[in-house]
Amino acid sequence: MSSYDFPDARGHFGPYGGVYVAETLMAALDELNAEYARAKADPAFWQEYHYELKHFVGRPSPIYHAKRWSEQLGGAQIYFKREDLNHTGAHKVNNTIGQALLARRMGKKRVIAETGAGQHGVASATVAARYGMECVVYMGSEDVKRQAPNVFRMKLLGATVVPVESGSKTLKDALNEAMRDWVTNIDSTFYILGTAAGPHPYPMLVRDFQRIIGIEAKEQMQEMVGRQPDMVVACVGGGSNAIGIFHPYVEVEGVRLVGVEAGGDGVATGRHAAPLSAGKPGVLHGFRSYLMQDENGQIIETHSVSAGLDYPGVGPEHSLLKDIGRAEYVAINDDEALKAFEDCCHLEGIIPALESSHALAYAAKIAPTMAKDQIILVNLSGRGDKDINTVAGLMGLTL
Amino acid sequence: MSRIAETFTRLQAAGEKALIPFITAGDPNPGLTVSLMHGLVEGGADVIELGIPFSDPMADGPVIQRASERALLHKVGLRNVLGMVREFRRSNQQTPVVLMGYLNPVHVLGYEVFAQEAAAAGVDGVLTVDCPPEEAAELSAALIAAKLDPVFLIAPTTPLARVKQIAALARGYVYYVSLKGVTGAGNLDIDDVARKIAALREFLDVPIGVGFGIRDAETARAISTAADAVVVGSRLVQEIEAATPETAKEQLTRLVASLKDAIR
């Protein structure tokens, strides 16, 4: 696999990715691409990025051996990459710092972002406060309801949260609205896209800023257990935490990469958010990738207990990794994710995000089929404090 | 010569500017679309832009988003849209029809299949908003093979190098986006548009249509002094939205006539 080098100069990951946007955005994307090429070659840029990750975010995030859970499951040893311990509570901040530093280089004083679960919105509001920028976050009105604590966190950080009422009122509609804002305010505004999707260069940009997860994990596993895991598992909505941990492992032989999509009520019911498991290639939000769509090419509404996975598309690099067989993609249903959420709380003393609970659920499912000396590394992409209202609601409680 | 080229040649000879109204196919219901298209022609439409409904119209403002949503309530797909054009062609062989929409419904049908079926239905041009020249090679080739005109956007932000690239690919006409924003926005600067169009002329062989944010006869007239064609969309869709299915055609015809008068 030594030939893995994507995307190409125009942002294609094999047949996926690309730049499918209206002409008005093309110049801004070219400008961003050119600035990132300069920043990428500038050691001072990366020096500041790493300084911020260390002193503001608290990196490196540790690796943790989930001993009790592994023992109870009776198979492979499960380890967590603790992205939940980052400042703001998820992996999202790795990317927002990188993009905010780019925005600053480009002299943009206003940043916008879309958010589903609110983690990317919080991470964007956080860096905007940190660097003194105006911040507007678009969020589907359904998500505003189910992620109320994060909405308030964004407001505390000085951001304006705009509820989006169009379409299904979730993440995809927030993305549409952010694009509309960007096209209107293109001179003053930097769009901090939260996942490894969207038009080129975003999938590459977000991956490069999230790769730190996998780079650290490789060093830490070597240090901790003297070898690399047999399997790396991460949840996939747009796919930023997954590509962040997968990418440094793509050329490492013997490491299985498993992306876990949101199965919602079950893939067979059609009520899910698993385009790699049950969709087909199409074009949405500026890129070509697997999509949840009907026979007319209309985007289908998605269903997941986790707002962060409730997205009908997936980052283009995951579509490529699926097609070339380097990564496998599976789906975990809402009830399985909730069971893993509870087990993680009880057995490990960690409240995981509902998104990450999908990855945990797959690890818990597959571990008993593996040998006790095998290792599964799960990207615990975020903490679950934001989800307590949702989980309480499912238990029939109000807080 | 294509129906679009013929139309512009005829208008130029008469010293007239083209009026290009836009409506979304299937809005407010699929049964009404063909009648509304005829209504547009009765009012003075020179070319019709017919919108393909899409669930995620990223480049459109709220008015055209709602039109898509109304059409999608009736499950109007791309093949239904082609059926409407076919029906329109039964009694109108003169007025060019340009399909305007987003790439995914076309992508899912397959570019060659789409191009052949569209040509057979009587479509003349296709504008996919989210398919810039960089990604358009395959679709453009299929369209040109089927004798359809690929129509491209040029924006106020488009640098000169890209204008030249677009000029090499464009057929029929180019659509100049008159403002930085979405369809139906309110920040149109007429003097700026006139300057930009004058500059574009040097590089373009095809006529230049201007749209986004043209809301009244006065603006249409001002734009038409510089452009070859004036595209009006959101304002017409608003008229459909405000009308009943019974009055929609009459109201639309009257509005189009007033716009055509203004640019004549």
pLDDT in tens, chain A (399 residues): 458 999 999 999 999 999 999 999 999 999 999 999 999 999 999 999 999 999 999 999 999 999 999 999 999 999 999 999 999 999 999 999 999 999 999 999 999 999 988 999 999 999 999 999 999 999 999 899 888 889 999 999 999 999 999 888 888 999 999 999 999 999 999 999 999 999 999 999 999 999 999 999 999 999 999 999 999 999 999 999 999 999 999 999 999 999 999 999 999 999 999 999 999 999 999 999 999 999 999 999 999 999 899 999 999 999 999 999 999 999 999 999 999 999 999 999 999 999 999 999 999 999 999 999 999 999 999 999 999 989 999 989 988
Query: What's the token pair of residue A292?
Result: 């949840």
Closest chain B C-alpha to A14 CA, distance in angstroms: 13
Report the distance separating Cα A124 and Cα A88, nearest Å. 10
**A314 in a domain, yes or no?**
yes
Nearest-Cα residue of chain B relative to residue A168: B55
Q: Are strands A271-273 and A256-266 parallel, antiparallel or unpaired?
A: antiparallel
A126 plus A222 within the same structural domain = no
User: What is the DSSP-derived secondary structure letter of residue A299?
Assistant: B
Report the distance separating Cα A343 and Cα A345, nearest Å. 5
Nearest-Cα residue of chain A relative to residue B66: A166
Count of C-beta atoms within a 10 Å radius of residue A293: 24
Closest chain A C-alpha to B247 CA, distance in angstroms: 27
Query: What's the token pair of residue A268?
Result: 């067979």
A285 plus A313 within the same structural domain = yes
Closest chain B C-alpha to A167 CA, distance in angstroms: 7
Domain boundary residue, one of A207, A228, A249: A207
Contact B56 A26 (CB under 8 A): no
The parts of chain B modelled with pLDDT lower than 50 are: none
pLDDT at A1: 47
Give the DSSP per-residue string, A87-129.
TTSBTHHHHHHHHHHHHHHTT--EEEEEESSSHHHHHHHHHHH
A221 plus A127 within the same structural domain = no
pLDDT at B180: 85
Helices (H), A54-91: 67-73
pLDDT at A2: 56
**A6 in a domain, yes or no?**
no
Domain boundary residue, one of A150, A181, A207: A207
Q: Which of B6, B27, B42, B60 is catalytic?
A: B60
Query: What's the token pair of residue A225?
Result: 């257990």
Nearest-Cα residue of chain B relative to residue A281: B108
Report the distance separating Cα A80 and Cα A106, nearest Å. 36
Domain boundary residue, one of A177, A207, A237: A207
Q: Which residues of B touch A24 (CB under 8 A)?
A: 59, 153, 155-157, 177, 180-181
- Per-residue pLDDT tens for B178-228? 888 888 887 788 999 999 999 999 999 999 999 998 999 999 999 999 999
A296 plus A181 within the same structural domain = no
pLDDT at B1: 81
**A325 in a domain, yes or no?**
yes
Q: Name the burial class of residue A37, with classes exposed (0-12), middle (13-18) and buried (19+) by CB atoms within 10 angstroms of its CB.
A: exposed
Q: Which residues of B touch A25 (CB under 8 A)?
A: 157
Report the distance separating Cα B55 and Cα A168, nearest Å. 10
What is the predicted ipTM? 0.95
pLDDT at B52: 98
Report the distance separating Cα B63 and Cα B76, nearest Å. 18
Q: Which residues of B touch A187 (CB under 8 A)?
A: 180
Contact A285 B56 (CB under 8 A): yes
pLDDT at A153: 96
Q: Which residues of A touch B62 (CB under 8 A)?
A: 166
Place of tokens 């996975």: A309
Contact B77 A296 (CB under 8 A): yes
Within a 13 Å sphere around the CA of B81, how many CA atoms are in the beta-carbon half?
A: 31
Report the distance separating Cα A97 and Cα A95, nearest Å. 5
> What domain count does chain A have?
2
**A2 in a domain, yes or no?**
no
Closest chain A C-alpha to B85 CA, distance in angstroms: 17
Contact A20 B135 (CB under 8 A): yes
- Per-residue pLDDT tens for B250-260? 999 999 999 99
For residues A76 and A117, the answer to whether their CB atoms sit within 8 Å is no
A194 plus A273 within the same structural domain = no
A310 plus A224 within the same structural domain = yes
Q: Which residues of A touch B156 (CB under 8 A)?
A: 24
Contact B130 A286 (CB under 8 A): yes
**A137 in a domain, yes or no?**
yes
Place of tokens 């040649």: B9
Contact B182 A21 (CB under 8 A): no
Contact B57 A176 (CB under 8 A): yes
| Domain range enclosing A246 | 60-89+211-394
The residues facing A234 across adjacent strands are: A259
Report the distance separating Cα A377 and Cα A228, nearest Å. 9
Cβ within 8 Å of residue B202, ≥6 positions away = none
Respond yes or no on whether the N-terminal peptide bond of residue B21 is cis (omega within 30° of 0): no
Q: Which of A25, A186, A283 sits opposite B104 (nearest CB)?
A: A283
Report the distance separating Cα A349 and Cα A365, nearest Å. 20
Annotation marks residue B60 as catalytic? yes
Sheet containing A134-140: give its strands across.
A160-164, A134-140, A110-115, A189-191
pLDDT at B155: 95
For residues B19 and B260, the answer to whether their CB atoms sit within 8 Å is yes
> Alpha carbon B251 to chain centroid distance?
20
Q: Which of B104, B153, B182 sits opposite A297 (nearest CB)?
A: B104
Q: Which residues of A touch B106 (CB under 8 A)?
A: 297
For residues B233 and B22, the answer to whether their CB atoms sit within 8 Å is yes
pLDDT at B47: 98
Contact A22 B59 (CB under 8 A): yes
Q: What is the dihedral of CA B252, B253, B258, B264, to 10 degrees?
A: 130
Respond yes or no on whether the N-terminal peptide bond of residue B150 is cis (omega within 30° of 0): no
DSSP H/E element including A191: strand A189-191
**A330 in a domain, yes or no?**
yes
A113 plus A242 within the same structural domain = no
Report the distance separating Cα A205 and Cα A54, nearest Å. 20
A314 plus A380 within the same structural domain = yes
Annotation marks residue A92 as catalytic? yes
Contact A297 B159 (CB under 8 A): no
A130 plus A241 within the same structural domain = no
A125 plus A73 within the same structural domain = no
A100 plus A244 within the same structural domain = no
Contact A27 B129 (CB under 8 A): no
As a CATH number, domain B3-259 is 3.20.20.70
**A271 in a domain, yes or no?**
yes
Annotation marks residue A169 as catalytic? no
Of the candidates B105, B170, B97, the residue with the CA atom closest to the CA atom of residue B132: B170
Q: What CATH number is given to the structural domain containing A332?
A: 3.40.50.1100
Count of C-beta atoms within a 10 Å radius of residue A324: 13
A26 plus A109 within the same structural domain = yes
Of the candidates A387, A366, A336, the residue with the CA atom closest to the CA atom of residue A73: A366
Residue A78 phi, psi dihedral angles, 5° rounding: -100, 130
Report the distance separating Cα A165 and Cα A142, nearest Å. 8
Tell which B residues from 119 to 158 touch A, by Cβ distance under 8 Å. 129-132, 134-135, 152-158
Report the distance separating Cα B162 and Cα B134, nearest Å. 10
Report the distance separating Cα B146 and Cα B2, nearest Å. 11
Report the distance separating Cα A328 and Cα A326, nearest Å. 7
**What is the three-class DSSP state of A271?**
strand
